[in-house]
Structure 1
Amino acid sequence: MSDSADTSRKSIKTYLPAYQKAEWQSHADELDMSQSEFVRTMVQAGRKGFTSGHEEPTSPGSDPGGNALETRVLKLLGNDTYSWNELLEAVSDDVESRLEDALEELQSNNRVRYSGRHGGYTLVEDGDGN
């Protein structure tokens, strides 16, 4: 990926049968991934067979069930020496991205909303008061 690549985050929306969404969510849960991260990873994995001689960039953490964190640490240390705090900062962006993905997913499913009144995120109450 070149230095000039646009890394800003954009959302996409797709529709699929409820049973398929449930299967994907179950598989994502097994892999300890958000649904957004799971779909992004599976699309990238599927695209590998369609590339035309150039490597596609992957999203951080796109090593389901593997050692993505260890791989990232080794890659970082291959280029320089880092203190504990520097390493923590370098790899913590993945946690922020996963949290953002999870909150986007929960908000799109109307399970969580941001409440200015309460100063943060809150569960959306269903019709039963839950």
Structure 2
Amino acid sequence: MADSQDTSRTAVKTYVPAYQKAEWQDHADELDMSQSEFLRTMVQAGRRGFQGGTEEPGSPDADPGGNGLETRLLELLSDDTYTWDELLEAVSDDIESRLDETLEELQAENRVRYSGRHGGYTIVGDDGE
């Protein structure tokens, strides 16, 4: 790291309504993240939004995709040693579940459908008919 930034961890405390904390916890659970990881990721993503999409230089918790992959990998590797294939399988299972859930939600909202004619998923109304 070019700058000598203190990367040690420290607690941050805030107060929110109970319903909001419950929503955040549910969302963190859906993403298979701890509440701390979820909040850290959301704050970093929000800060990028305020900075016009630029990232804070040297930010150790930056997650450019906002998908928690870095956090997930560090969690896995903190417990054991994994081969490339084992890591790929561990993170792929998560994305497969998320893809399945998201496609189900989009289909339930009638925004996406499976088109046999096109051999895959398509946006509703975008089939040339």
- TM-score class normalised by the smaller sequence: 0.3 to 0.5
Instruction: State TM-score, norm by structure 2.
Output: 0.46
Q: Which has the larger radius of gyration?
A: 2
